[in-house]
Structures are given as structure tokens and as C-alpha cells.
Amino acid sequence: MDHALHISPDAPPPPSRWRQRRLALAVIGLFLALQTIAGLKLLAPSKRLPQLAPLRLAPNPTLWPFLAYDMYSDHWKEGRAISRPSVVGLDATGARHTLTPESVGLSFREFRDQWLNPLRGGATAKALPLARRWSERGGVALMELRCEDVPAIVVRDGVADGERIIGPRYPLTESSGEAGQ
């Protein structure tokens, strides 16, 4: 049996290594150019410059995966606070229970958008349904919900906890079917 490679006489010739390298270099160059355009925001000038609005051809999400990563675009000065809001429940004994997205069976984004942010804004009607949801998933009955923020303060050695800020409080009354302020 002959193990030699038989190529049909009418088959196109295999691409040369030089052609393959040129193609690879062209693809790499294209990706670097797109990342540079996104990083310099050439197609998405700042919204703080309204006179450049006509040049706003492609906002950052449109250029995905070539993004200008804003988390790296600014430095954090010492003493700057990073907000870390949370929802805390108090049971009949006064014990604190932090309600997390996992503890109420939601994704982070759903929890933040449907419960945390509305409660921080004073949406009283959201308190009792959230407390019930938490209790149904194995938590103890809660007597009060409140929004808290323990900001992270940027310090020379990293991050330190700031002073706890207690936001809106929502006493829970099962008999009335709603939360009071």
C-alpha cells in the first residue's frame, strides 16, 4: 500500500507560508486598530462634549469586544469612597441578616434593579415581598428591612471599611399586608 499523498492535478496549489503569515498579520493589525479606536474613543466622543455629538458613530457597547475599559481610565485618590449598598433584615431577636441575591434566588442584576435600588429610593411596597421571598427560601421571619451602605474607602494600603450609613427603614407588619415607613 502506497502511503504517499496523492494530490489531484486540478486542485489549487496549497497557500504558501508567506500568504498565511500575511493573513495572520492583517487580522492582528485589524484587531489592534479596532482596540485603539475603542480605547481612544474615536467613534464615541465623550457625552460631556455635546459639540462632538455628530461624531458619535459607535458607542462603546457597539464596538464589543473592543471596549474602552472605564475601570482602568481613572485613578482612585486616597480617601475616595466606593458605595457598597446592601439590604439588611432584622428578626424578632434583633439579629441582622444580610439579604443577598443568592439568598432570595435572583441574579445580581435582578436583585439590584428590582429590589435594592427601589428600596434605597423609598419604594415601601417592595419591602414586604422581599422579606417574604427571603423567608420562603429558608430564612427566619423578619421584623424590619433597611438599606445600609458600608462604603469602601481607598487608603494607601488598599481599601478600608467606612462608617455604616443606615438608609430607609421598613418595619414589616404582616397583619396590614404592607410595610410601613
**Cell 421584623 maps to which residue?**
143
3-state helix, strand, coil split of the chain in percent (to 5) is 35, 20, 40
pLDDT tens-digit profile, the chain (181 residues): 555 566 666 766 666 778 888 999 999 999 888 888 776 766 666 666 677 666 666 555 555 665 555 555 567 788 888 889 999 999 999 999 999 999 999 999 999 999 999 999 999 999 999 999 999 988 789 999 999 999 999 888 888 999 999 999 999 875 434 444 4
Q: By the 8 A CB rule, do 90 and 142 touch?
A: yes
The predicted structure's pLDDT at residue 76: 74
pTM: 0.55
The predicted structure's pLDDT at residue 180: 41
The predicted structure's pLDDT at residue 156: 87
The predicted structure's pLDDT at residue 2: 55
Would you give the DSSP letter of residue 13?
A: P
Burial 104-130 (b: 16+ CB within 10 A, else e): bebeeeebeebbbebbbeeeeebbbeb
